[in-house]
């Protein structure tokens, strides 16, 4: 009796898990903001009809390789028929003008996409930042990534020849000498306070946030 019960349970599991009874019918993509969720779902349609238990993580990875905007993802299988893919997108930090459009790159230098217009919050990179392996690029990218969104949206240009002379141009025309990538949050607070108090001077130096200078 006990053996029969075990055999019956095993058959139930095999039939339920590895046959079309629990095959993928619904695919849900969550977390897509810049990426097109419809395109992502389309890339995953190859798994429709596959038993949930047989959806291979490596196959999902291959299906998503065509979307460089994806930094990481998590797969969840929800019986009886749902495959959920939760994605974490890369964030563009710099725009490079190219042939009437803009290449958008993340802090790792990964080319994410091309845009016909520069997105707000993604400043135009200077010629010195073409080398995405350089200390200057890494410093600029780190600062833009970590600065508050409200300030980032005002930055229209970024430049640096080395990691210690990061400089930004604001939408008001003000040149901001940021210095290195240290103390980003403190520098951001000081910069925003100065802008609120004095408006749009020609330049603001917050490289030493305890002793800012403006002209």
Cis amide bond preceding 13, omega within 30: no
The per-residue pLDDT for range 71-121, each reduced to its tens digit, is: 999 999 999 999 999 999 999 999 999 988 999 999 999 999 899 999 999
Q: How many domains does the chain have?
A: 2
Instruction: Please tell me whether residues 74 and 143 are part of one structural domain.
Output: no
The per-residue pLDDT for range 144-181, each reduced to its tens digit, is: 999 999 999 999 999 999 999 999 999 999 999 999 99
Instruction: Please tell me whether residues 132 and 51 are part of one structural domain.
Output: no
Helix (H) or strand (E) holding 88: strand 82-89
pTM: 0.76
Instruction: Judge whether residue 7 has pLDDT over 50.
Output: no
Share of the chain above pLDDT 90, in %: 83
Query: 47: domain range?
Result: 2-89
Q: Which of 70, 73, 92, 94 is nearest to 84 (CA)?
A: 73
pLDDT of residue 19: 60
Give how far Cα 140 sits from Cα of 76, 104, 136, Å: 36, 14, 6
Please say whether the beta carbons of 51 and 22 come within 8 A: yes
Residue 112 forms part of a structural domain: no
Please say whether the beta carbons of 144 and 93 come within 8 A: yes
In the three-class reduction of DSSP (H, G, I as helix; E, B as strand; rest coil), residue 155 is classed as: strand
Residue 65 forms part of a structural domain: yes
Answer positive or negative: Cα dihedral of 23, 26, 31, 34. Answer: positive
Give the residue-averaged pLDDT of 13-37.
77
pLDDT of residue 18: 55
Instruction: Please tell me whether residues 148 and 203 are part of one structural domain.
Output: yes
Q: State the CATH number of the domain containing residue 6.
A: 3.10.20.310
Residue 16 forms part of a structural domain: yes
Residue 39 forms part of a structural domain: yes
Residue 105 forms part of a structural domain: no
The number of angstroms, rounded, from the C-alpha of 204 to the middle of its chain's C-alpha atoms is: 29
pLDDT of residue 23: 93
Residue 95 forms part of a structural domain: no
Better-predicted residue by pLDDT, 32 or 133: 133
Residue 195 forms part of a structural domain: yes
pLDDT of residue 22: 86
Residue 96 forms part of a structural domain: no
């Amino acid at each position: 009796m006990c053996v029969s019960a075990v055999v019956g349970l095993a058959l139930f599991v095999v039939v339920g898990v590895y046959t079309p009874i629990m095959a993928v019918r619904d695919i849900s993509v969550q977390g897509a903001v810049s990426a097109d969720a419809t395109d992502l779902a389309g890339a995953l349609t190859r798994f429709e009809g596959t038993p949930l238990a047989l959806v291979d993580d490596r196959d999902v990875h291959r299906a998503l390789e065509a979307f460089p905007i994806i930094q990481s993802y998590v797969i969840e299988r929800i019986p009886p028929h749902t495959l959920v893919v939760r994605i974490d997108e890369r964030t563009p930090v710099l725009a490079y003008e190219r042939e009437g459009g803009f290449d958008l790159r993340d802090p790792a230098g990964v080319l994410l996409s091309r845009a016909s217009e520069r997105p707000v919050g993604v400043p135009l990179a200077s010629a010195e930042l073409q080398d995405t392996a350089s200390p200057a690029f890494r410093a600029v990218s780190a600062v833009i990534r970590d600065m508050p969104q409200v300030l980032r949206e005002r930055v229209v240009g970024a430049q640096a020849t080395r990691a210690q002379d990061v400089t930004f141009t604001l939408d008001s025309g003000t040149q901001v000498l940021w210095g290195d990538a240290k103390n980003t949050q403190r520098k951001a607070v000081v910069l925003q306070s100065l802008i609120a108090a004095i408006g749009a001077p020609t330049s603001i130096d917050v490289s030493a946030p305890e002793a800012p200078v403006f002209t």
